[in-house]
Each structure stands twice: as C-alpha cells, then as structure tokens.
Amino acid sequence: MRELQDLADALINGYADRVSKLTNELLETGVEPQTILNEGLIAGMTVVGEKMRTGEMYLPEVLQSASAMHASLKLLKPHLVKEGVESRGKILMGTVKGDMHDIGKNLVGIMLQGAGFELVDLGLNVPPQKFVEAIGMHQPAVVGLSAMLTTTMLNMKTTIEAINNAGLRSKVKIIIGGAPVSQKFADDIGADGYARDAVKAVDKVKELLAA
Amino acid sequence: MQHTVRERWRSLAVTNADELMFGRAPKPVTCGFGLKLGEGKVFPELNFTLPTMMLDETNWPSVVAQYRDIGEMIVRASQRLHLPGLMVEFELLPPMTERPEWGAEITHILNEALATAHHSYGLPCALRVTPTDIRDATRPPSLRTGEEWIVLQQSLRMCAKGGAHVLSIESIGGKEVNDEAMMYGDVTGVIFALGVLAPRDMAFLWGDIVKVCEECRIVPGGDSACGFANTAMQLASQGMVPEVFAAMIRAASAVRSLVAYEQGAYGPSKDCAYEGPIIKAMTGAPISMEGKSATCAHFSPVGNVAAAMCDLWSNESVQDIRLLSGSAPEAFLELLAYDCRLFNQALERGTEKMYQDLLVHSDMHLSPQALILSPESTLRIARAIVAEPTHYLQTIAAARESLTILREALLGGILPLSIKERRWLDRLERSLDELPEVEEDLLEAMKERYGHLFLPESYGL
C-alpha cells in the first residue's frame, strides 16, 4: 500500500509532523491500527536500524525517527488498546547495584522502543531485590542488565541468582551488556544472551523472543 | 554558597604554537616526593583498577592486599626501569568514595610505597588521588546538598589527609543534560550543559576542593571532561555520533575544565582530560595526557597527537590481571617508561619539535578529533576562549573555532570528510549561529526541554 510506504519513508527521514499527519489519514481511511504499526512504523524502524548498523545513519538521526514513531504511537495507542493488540514484548532494564553508568543502557532502551518493544527502565544502581519486585509487577519478557565496572559486573550474577531464588527465572530471558562483560561472562553467570552494542541488543532480544 | 572566581584568564600563558611542547610548562608544579612537572621532562603516570571481583566488606582484605601488591610492584619496577620520576594515580571506585575510610586506607598504602621508593633510591614521585563524583547516585542529581555531597567532601578530605599529593576529580555537573543532548545531536542542549550548567558546578565543587588542598598543603590538580567529551569520543568511535560533533564537544568542554583553575587548581590536569593542551595554553599548567598507551582502557583516534604537549603520560587505567610478562600494571608501566625515554631523549637532544611534529602529523589528517588537538589548533581554540567574557560565550567560541579549523582543513584538502560528516559540519555551524547572545535567553527553553533531567538549584539557578 503506497500510503504505508509513505509513512515508513517519513519515519526513516525523521519527519515527526508528517508521520503524525499520515497516521491520522490512514486511521481515517479505515486502515487497521495494527497494519499501520507493522507495515508503516515497524517497517520504517527496521530500515532505520539497518541503516545504523551499516553506518548510514548516526544515532541522533535514529532518535529523530524514534521520536516520530512515538508521536505516531500516541495516536495509535487508544486504537491498539481497544482492539487488544499487544506490544512486541515488554523489556525491563537497569544498571546493576553499585554502578552509576547509564548512557549505554539508555541507548539500548531507546533502540528497543524504536523497534516496537515496551520498556520499563529501573534506572541505575538497582539492587537485585528491586529487579525481582519489578519482574513480579511488570511481567516482562526480557530483563536487561547493564554494568560498566569490573567491580560491579559480578552484581549481574547476584541479580540473576536473586531472580532464580524468587522462582522467576523461567519466566524471563536475561541479557547483559557493558564494557567489561562478554559472551563468556554471560554464559558463566547463566544469562541468556550478551550484546556488545545497542543495535546488537535489539537483535538479541528479537532472537530470544523468537526462540 | 557562592564561590568567587579567583582568576579568569584574559590572555594566554603560551602564545606561540612552537612553545606548546611536551615536558615544558610555563608554570611548573612540584609535588609529592620532589616530582617536578613541566621543567623539561615527561614522566609516566600509572593508573590501575581492580580485576573482576566483588568490592564489599567481606572482600575488603583481598582488595587491600591487591593494592599492597601493586605498591610493591611500583617500588620494584620503578628502579628496574630507571624511571626519572613517577606519578601514580589512585582512582577510587564508587564504594571507596562512599566509605571514605576505604579510600583513605588505600591512599595511605600507595603513599607508603612511593615513600619507600623515594627514600630507598631517590625516585621523585607523587600520588594523585581521584575520588569518584558520587553525586549522580540519584536522578536528577542533587549536587549541592544531600548525603552524597557530604560523603564526597569527607572522601576528598580523608584522602588528602591520608597521603594524597594531588587531588583531582572527574566531575559530572551538567552531564545529565549533556548525555541526552548529545544523543539527540542537540547543539543548543550541549552548549547549555557545557557552558551554563557545568561551569557553575565546577565553580562550586572546585572552590571546595581547593580549600581542602590548601588546608592539607597539597596540590589541586584539575578536572576532566571525561563524562562529556570522552563519551562523545567513544560514541563517535562506534559510529553513533559524527566525529566532527565529538571534536566540537572536546573543544567546548575546555571551558568547564578551565573553571577548576579559575578556582585555584594549578595542575597537573587529569590524564583523560584530552582538552588538557587547551588548558595548558591558557593557564601554563602542566598536563597529563593519554593515548596510544592507554588502549588497555579504551581506543581513540588521537593516540599520538595526544602526546604532543603532555607533561605526564598515562595509561588511563588497566585491570590488575596477570599477563605473560607479569602484572598488567607493571607491563603498562614499562610501556609508559619507554614512551617517556623517547620524549626525554628528544628534549635532551633539542629534537623535540621534530618528534612533536611526527606525533601530530601522524594523526591529524585522519580524524577531526586529532586535528583540533594539534598545537596550532589548540592555540586557536584557547585564544577564542580567552577573548570572551563569560563561560557561556567562551563555550560557544571554542565550539565555533573548532568547526572553523575543521572547515578550513576540509577546504584545504588536508582533512578528508565523508559526505555524512560534511552534512553534520554544516548542521553544527548553523546550530551555533542560532544560539542566543546571552544565556538567560536560553534558560527557559532549556528548562522546558531538559527540566526533567536537572535541578536548577544544583546550579544556583
């Protein structure tokens, strides 16, 4: 459908006003909200993610597209809720206890939202128990743990143990990221995945949820 | 509490690019056990951190033992390497700042090690101690009140009394806005963070640090725009933000780092403050730098050029792990020692300009971030800063001058830039032109856009 392609193109170019205008027009002409979401917005953001991966777009441009998507989602949300359409999945994220670094985590969060996931961000210096409580409250599909220090990365292990002890481990997939961690460390502490940057984090979440 | 600006640089300490040289600073500093900085020699600055391990009460004896081992290694290796002098930096991890007695204990251990080296075989040496700026434990950060600020003050004081010879910090005032603005490519937000918020916090914080140093008769070293410009550098290296943007942020960040000196700091600046050469040109203070021998901590496009004007040459930080040769800190101390032998041979033979040219020209045509750190660029940016009367205008001037340097290099064919980078250069120039003349005109818009991220009272606004 030409109009959906126009919507995707406007999104790729980060034209928030045009994206909102096209979203309204599509709704008015009776196009299903889920079709607008999947074939317009998510299709556009998939191209954006690919352009970032290949170095064709910088982060500020990606975020401009993400902002345009949020503007459109605001318009779509009441319709999606009414029709019982669910998001692609809820992701709970936080920087582990003792660690104050959050720019990497924030980037991952923005990219995930841009890919159509719902995000619950617990912030930084998050104790294991707070992750446990938040899993109970929000029931995410994936939990993301971030750490930047060699002396805080072990708190990822402590957090996973706490989730395990609370009987919640089988209900969530867990991914980790941050400068000192690796796939091997993820394997050692019983995480389901590791991503070395924000783009790869989105890929990993998609992969885990598809499995 | 309002701190008075003690000195504001209206002119440059170095006016000729040829005089901006490694190992020589117009205002030398003597610190610790007879370490003379900026008087014709470059010395290694060794920094290290813990390997993967828990840092808590139960594990504290192991942590102490680890630092004790490092101290013993320093005594042994400094003699083996015939070091002409040494700066050791102890950068506290957050729990060591949150428990000031922990930071002070390690400070004391390292001070004793350096005292042993000095008294045993006359090593001129000093200990720089850098507590963590823990004031961003909550968001928005409360910078002037609250438990974190009180504990940070205690940490600074206890480290000073525990044996630090130089105090430094990587302060975070304004970072909460800069992070967001940088990610969105919002030049107005970046200039607001670096030129309005950060200088206010620097003045507040450094007024206090200088007071502590005066009381304890130690040296107030300097700050680093690490959380601002090095974050941009890392994002650029990952292809997340344009290199020209990272270069502009580096230049603009020099103003907030200068505020430490306005408050009474006199160097040596922090190693990760790549804006150091600009500070040196303005203040004449000796500077610490890091580059090719800091790849243990992070990569950069400025590995050689960063060395061109240094007085201390650092490895940034290395985990204390075992390598084939020995411990990683010892391996990097050796690396720095050989780097410094070359600097010092060049200075002794009078070939320092040739050596500096090699360092500068091997990098400057490959990256905008390297180009703005050449001695000529450094001096131009410094000159643009001192010509302006307020931190806000100085920050804009530094940013604009860096873009002018890049534009000239592009037009002159000496800096190849991709089409993407050129588009951003245009965009950055336009954005700077659109900024208001006075910061008050920016404030309301910034409160509206970033008000959820910062507390005006943290900046006396």
For residue range A32-56, what is the model confidence (pLDDT) as tens digits?
Answer: 999 999 999 989 998 998 898 899 9
What is the number of other CB atoms lying within 10 angstroms of the CB of residue B329? 26
Q: Which domain does A36 fall in, by range?
A: 2-82
This complex has an ipTM of 0.88
Give the chain A residue nearest B298 (alpha carbons). A179
% pLDDT > 70, chain A: 100
Judged by a CB distance cut-off of 8 A, whether residue B58 touches chain A is no
Contacting residues of A for B50, CB less than 8 Å apart:
150-151
* pLDDT higher than 50, residue B134: yes
Q: Does A63 touch chain B (CB under 8 A)?
A: yes
| Predicted pLDDT at B223 | 98
- B42 and B313 Cβ atoms separated by less than 8 Å: yes
Nearest Cα to Cα of residue B148 among B201, B205, B98, B203: B98
pLDDT band per the 50, 70, 90 thresholds, residue A80: confident
Contacts of B61 (CB under 8 A, 6+ apart): none
A94 and A27, same structural domain? no
Tokens matching residue B54: 């828990």
Cα distance between residue B13 and residue B366, in whole Å: 29
A85, pLDDT greater than 80? no
DSSP string computed for B99-161: SHHHHHHHHHHHHHHHHHHHHHH---EEEEEE---GGGSSSS---SSSHHHHHHHHHHHHHHH
Q: Which residues of chain B have a CB within 8 Å of the CB of A110?
A: 183
Q: Give the domain extent around B197.
A: 17-459
A211 pLDDT tier (thresholds 50, 70, 90): confident
Has residue B273 got a pLDDT over 90? Answer: yes
Window 95-114 of A, Cβ < 8 Å to B = 98-100, 103, 106-107, 110
Q: Are residues A77 and A130 in the same domain?
A: no
Domain assignment of residue B285, yes or no: yes
CATH code of the domain covering residue A67: 1.10.1240.10
pLDDT of residue B7: 60
Pair A50, A131 in one domain: no
pLDDT band, residue B248 (cuts 50/70/90)? very high
Together in a domain, A201 and A111: yes
**Residue B100 pLDDT greater than 90, yes or no:** yes
B89: left (phi over 0), alpha (psi -120 to 50) or beta: beta
Task: Indicate whether A78 and A94 sit together in one domain.
Answer: no
Confidence of residue B137 (pLDDT cuts 50, 70, 90): confident
Q: What is the mean pLDDT of residues A21-33?
A: 96
Task: Please indicate, yes or no, whether residues A199 and A170 belong to a single structural domain of this protein.
Answer: yes
Nearest to A149 among B93, B241, B242 (CB): B93
**Mind listing the pLDDT tens digit for each residue in B402-431?**
999 999 999 999 999 999 999 999 999 999
| Domains in chain B, number | 1
Is the pLDDT score of B260 beyond 50?
A: yes
Do A14 and A41 share a domain, yes or no? yes
Residues A36 and A60 in one domain: yes
What digits encode the pLDDT tens for the residues A158-190? 999 999 999 999 999 999 999 999 999 999 999
Averaged over B161-170, what is the pLDDT? 98
The shortest C-alpha distance from B445 to chain A (Å) reads: 19
**Half-sphere exposure (Cβ direction) of B210: Cα atoms closer than 13 Å:** 21
Mean pLDDT of chain A, nearest integer: 93
Residue B291 lies inside a defined structural domain of this protein: yes
Tally of domains in chain A = 2
**B343: in domain:** yes
Q: Is residue B445 part of a domain?
A: yes
Contact B148, A72 (CB under 8 A): no
Chain B contact for A151, CB < 8 A? Answer: yes
Kindly state whether A162 is in contact with chain B, defined as any CB-CB distance less than 8 angstroms: no
Interface test with B, best of A50, A57, A59, A185 (most B CBs within 10 A): A59
Residues 6+ apart with CB under 8 A from A30: none
Q: Mind telling me how many Å the CA of A83 is from chain B's nearest CA? A: 33
* pLDDT over threshold 50, residue B171: yes
Q: Is residue B3 part of a domain?
A: no
> What's the whole-number mean pLDDT along residues B134-155?
95
Lowest mean pLDDT among A114-118, B265-269, B333-337: A114-118
pLDDT-derived band at B5 (thresholds 50, 70, 90) equals: very low
Question: Are B239 and A58 inside 8 Å of each other by CB?
Answer: yes
Residue that finishes a domain, picked among A82, A102, A117: A82
Is A64 in Cβ contact with B241 (below 8 Å)?
no
One domain for residues A28 and A116: no
Domain boundary among A50, A82, A114: A82
pLDDT at B3: 36
Query: Helix, strand, or coil here: A172?
Result: coil
Compute the mean pLDDT over every residue in chain B, rounded to the nearest whole number. 96
Per-residue confidence (pLDDT) for residue A35, from 0 to 100: 94
Q: What per-residue confidence (pLDDT) applies to B73? A: 98
CA–CA dist B402, B422 (Å, integer): 14
- The CA dihedral of A146, A148, A150, A156, to the nearest 10 degrees, is -10
